[in-house]
Amino acid sequence: NTGLAGKVAFIQGGSRGIGAAIAKRLAADGAAVVITYVKGADQAQATVDAIKEAGGNAVALQADSADAGALSAAIRRTVETHGRLDILVNNAGTLAVAPLDQFSLEDFDRTLAINVRSVFVATQEAARHMTAGGRIINIGSTNADRMPFAGGGPYAMSKSALVGLTRGLARDLGPRGITVNNVQPGPVDTDMNPDSGDFAAMMKGMMALGRYGRTEEIAGFVAYLASDEAAYVTGASLSIDGGFAA
Ligand code: NDP
């Protein structure tokens, strides 16, 4: 338990996968959590129900991270409801893979809007409400450092962009005692990257540990970065990837 009692966390993209595991862990450690989703209302409600059944405090809001106005409004609503904001987790992400000659500009633009622009938009809004001790945690990818298959250039670019954005935002917010960090998972078993089939087998062959990560493992790392104990970590891109990029 990283001691988050009394804190409020906003997790964009928290209905399933890594984001849901982060929401459950931060709630178990005492934070009141607000998660967003875009399509999966039932899944978001299931995550909220699971947190409540475990004794936690959770709410789900529909807000498309590609829509800057909707995302900022969800953050403002969180502050109105809970009276404060301590932790922002920018987890919403999309993975488009296609051969170069078939990769659409719509997918290119959507990748940038969800994986990069939403991080800037949410940080800008959250920073208006956070005080000293605030925590901003981005979910990047080990693909920022290593992209070993074809067709994923825009995804790798979007996650590399977070490395620079995280450094710069840490400079903006460091003087206020707010940290900004970027967690770079390796392959983690979710809907986006199921631990089955030929692709997963190929990924495992590239990793020092030879296995997919569990969403709870990523959530534990995020909980540490959200804690008071991590006050001296900022501007960092930190990999938790089973040695994928080693
Ligand atoms: P999933 O596709 O399993 O889940 C994505 C979550 O984000 C869902 O809750 C989804 O909600 C939400 N979401 C997606 N698009 C939007 C949007 N436009 N607005 C709001 N919410 C949205 O993904 P993962 O859990 O696998 O990935 C989470 C993050 O981790 C991403 O940033 C991804 O790039 C990164 N990552 C994942 C890795 C992996 O191997 N799984 C490896 C490295 C990084 P809804 O159901 O409503 O669409």
Task: Return left, alpha or beta for 242; rule: phi > 0 is left, psi -120 to 50 is alpha, else beta.
Answer: left
> What pLDDT was estimated at residue 239?
98
207, amino acid identity: M
Q: Rounded to an integer, what distance in angstroms lies between the CA atom of residue 168 and that of residue 8? A: 24
Q: What is the DSSP string of 93-142?
A: -------GGG--HHHHHHHHIIIIIHHHHHHHHHHTT--TT-EEEEE--G
144, amino acid identity: A
> What pLDDT was estimated at residue 34?
98
> What pLDDT was estimated at residue 35?
98
| Local structure of 167: helix, strand or coil | helix
> What pLDDT was estimated at residue 162?
99
Q: pLDDT > 90: what percent of the chain?
A: 100
8 A C-beta contact, residue 139 and residue 18? yes
Residues 6+ apart with CB under 8 A from 80: none
> What pLDDT was estimated at residue 108?
98
Compute and round to an integer the Cα radius of gyration of the chain: 17
* Residue position matching structure tokens 């940080």: 123
The count of other CB atoms within 10 Å of the CB of residue 1 is 10
> What pLDDT was estimated at residue 165?
99
| Local structure of 49: helix, strand or coil | helix
Q: Rounded to an integer, what distance in angstroms lies between the CA atom of residue 96 and that of residue 103? A: 8
Mean pLDDT of 147-157: 97
Which residues form ligand 1's pocket by a CB distance below 6 Å? Answer: 12-19, 36-40, 43, 64-66, 91-95, 114, 139, 141, 185, 187-188, 190-193
Burial (CB < 10 A; 0-12, 13-18, 19+), residue 57, is middle
155 is catalytic: yes
220-234 pLDDT, tens digit per residue, is 999 999 999 999 999
> What pLDDT was estimated at residue 3?
95
CA–centroid distance, residue 19 to ligand 1 (Å): 7
10-37 pLDDT, tens digit per residue, is 999 999 999 999 999 999 999 999 999 9
Mean pLDDT of 215-224: 98
| Local structure of 88: helix, strand or coil | strand
Which of 37, 119, 142, 160 most suits a substitution to test ligand 1, by most atoms within 8 Å of the C-beta? 37
Whether the predicted interface score ipTM is above 0.95: yes
> What pLDDT was estimated at residue 179?
99
Q: Give the confidence band of 191 by pLDDT, cuts at 50, 70, 90.
A: very high
Q: Rounded to an integer, what distance in angstroms lies between the CA atom of residue 129 and that of residue 136? A: 12
> What pLDDT was estimated at residue 153?
98
User: Which pair of structure tokens corresponds to residue 166?
Assistant: 């995280």
What class, spelled out in words, does domain 8-240 have in CATH? alpha beta
CA–centroid distance, residue 175 to ligand 1 (Å): 31
- The model's pTM: 0.99
CA–centroid distance, residue 37 to ligand 1 (Å): 9
Q: Give the confidence band of 199 by pLDDT, cuts at 50, 70, 90.
A: very high
> What pLDDT was estimated at residue 86?
98
Instruction: Name the H helices within the chain.
Output: 17-28, 41-53, 68-82, 105-112, 118-127, 153-173, 197-205, 215-226
> What pLDDT was estimated at residue 130?
98
> What pLDDT was estimated at residue 178?
99
Q: Give the confidence band of 83 by pLDDT, cuts at 50, 70, 90.
A: very high
Query: What is the rounded average pLDDT for all residues in the chain?
Result: 98
Name the closest-CA residue to atom 4, ligand 1. Answer: 17
